[in-house]
Amino acid sequence: MNQPPATTPRRAWLVWGVALAIYVLAVFHRTSLAVAGLAATDRFGLSASQLASFTMLQLMVYAGMQIPVGLLVDRFGPRTVLTAGVTLVSLAQTGFALAGSYPEALLARTLVGMGDAMTFICVLRLVSSWFSARRIPLVVQLTGSTGQIGAIAAAVPMTWALRELGWSGAYLTAAAVGPALLVLLLLVVDDSPSRRHERGHPMSRRALLGSLRDSWAQPGTRLGFWVHFSTPFSAHLLALLWGFPFLVVSEGVSETTAGALLTLIVVATVASGPALGWLVGRHPYRRSTAALVTVAATAGTWTAVLAWPGQAPLWLLAALMVVCGCAGPVSMIGFDVARTSNPPHRLASASGIINQGGFVAALLAVFGVGAVLDLLTPGASTDYSAEAFTAAMSVQYLLWGLGAAQIWRHRVRIRRLIPRETVERGSTMVT
């Protein structure tokens, strides 16, 4: 891969801007069911487990495709894979808008997950190709946090669209944005400053498996995986599916207030990302510490909400949304660890491994909440009690405990193997 220039030209920001817009759209499609959960229950006649299956299957596909997508990006370049991604997610959302049955809708959400899976790793690879090393941590944080604007559009505006345009009208309007961005992609985005298409060398199945083994063998890749596993899943749980029912049914807020609270997650993500990127760039040796503090803060705030007698006050719910939102940028630390732990030709595949972490955790959390709700409210679709939601949301503690233990384990190993000075120089660390 060609080295990016020492200074950042306007062209790099333009390429990044178009790729970022596609990522924003993918996030919107990913989270567009968050405020439509109750509407989907009525439209398709779903139980809690069936409603959760939309998000579960989408997350399973997303997580399962991360390694194949990483290998595809290493082989064919981000421009080609990003083109396939925006095309697929737009067609899939069109199918979701027109679906008339549960199986049809389930298939459409599966394809949404496939298209979504092809976006973020491509943007990360473009950032590595177009920006200088000192700017990469900041731009990666800007990508992760600004991309969550898509979730803002999937909250209050999507609530309005569903009410005013109906199910099909709202989702068809959203799907129509994809073709416009596809045109911009084809006109503007190149894989690197010197080449429109960066192609890797063809690899045999044995070579591909060897590349994945080498990526996973890096302690930094494993640490990055568990950082991404532990920090963002609570925000995903709220934003993708269960936040809206939890706030409306269990905490007794209005639908409008629930949408505003979910939007606050994204506002916190966008606001905290640049500051965290700056801190990580200046203090890379403290990356795992930031992740552990974030896990503790998230678990502690959830404890305050769930243990509150009766319905939690609005200020505490707002604090929960802010804390969960700030955890999203912390998950980006995992990709920075991958960048400083792997050679350039393995960067996309290592990023794919790490990106699996957060979505595997989100999948387990979404499934666990749905299963507990069904167990405690048999025969009901949306008539959940506050006690049922308290038990269901407590599933998260198992994931926080596992993730924090693994972060600590791999951070100790890395600090034994790699001198602090090497980490703070930000050089590639192949151990």
Asked if residue 196 has pLDDT above 50, the reply is yes
275, pLDDT greater than 80: no
On the question of pLDDT at 428 being above 50, the answer is no
Identify the band that residue 4 occupies on the pLDDT scale cut at 50, 70 and 90.
low
> 181: domain CATH number?
1.20.1250.20
Contacting residues for 149 by C-beta, under 8 A, at least 6 apart = 24, 27, 266, 270
Residue 116 contacts residue 31 (beta carbons within 8 Å): no
Average pLDDT over residues 369-385: 76
Six token digits for residue 163 = 């009410």
Average pLDDT over every residue of 273-292 = 74
pLDDT band at 2 (very low <50, low <70, confident <90, very high): low
Helices and strands (H, E) in the chain, number of each type = 22, 0
In a domain, 33, yes or no: yes
Q: Domain for residue 106, yes or no?
A: yes
Residue 399 has what pLDDT? Answer: 96
Which of the pair, 413 or 426, is modelled with greater confidence?
Answer: 413
Band (pLDDT 50/70/90 cuts) for residue 430 is very low
DSSP 201: P
Query: Which of these, 69, 94, 92, 66, lies nearest to 82 by C-alpha position?
Result: 69
Q: Is residue 168 situated within a structural domain?
A: yes
Tally of domains in the chain: 1
Residue 350 CA from chain centroid, whole number = 16
Mind listing the pLDDT tens digit for each residue in 130-167? 887 778 878 887 887 788 778 777 767 777 887 778 87
Q: Is 261 a member of any domain?
A: yes
CB neighbour class for 310 (10 Å; exposed up to 12, middle 13-18, buried from 19): exposed
**pLDDT tens, 157-168?**
777 887 778 878
**205 inside domain:** no
* Tokens encoding 396: 């998260």
Query: How many Cβ atoms from other residues are within 10 Å of residue 210's Cβ?
Result: 12
In a domain, 110, yes or no: yes
Sequence-separated (6 or more) residues with CB below 8 Å from residue 129 = 1, 2, 4, 78, 191, 192, 193, 198
State the residue range of the domain holding 295. Answer: 10-192+211-425
The per-residue pLDDT for 219 is 80
pLDDT for 239 beyond 60 = yes
Q: Is residue 59 part of a domain?
A: yes
**What residues contact 192, with CB distance under 8 A and at least 6 apart?**
1, 2, 4, 129, 130, 198
Query: Which tokens sit at 6?
Result: 């020492």
> How distant is the alpha carbon of residue 97 from its chain centre?
23
1 pLDDT tier (thresholds 50, 70, 90): very low
Token look-up 């709220």 returns 238
- Least confident piece of the model among 31-40, 53-62, 328-337, 383-392: 31-40
Decide if 51 is inside a domain.
Answer: yes
pLDDT over 60 (residue 427): no
Q: What is the mean pLDDT of the chain?
A: 82
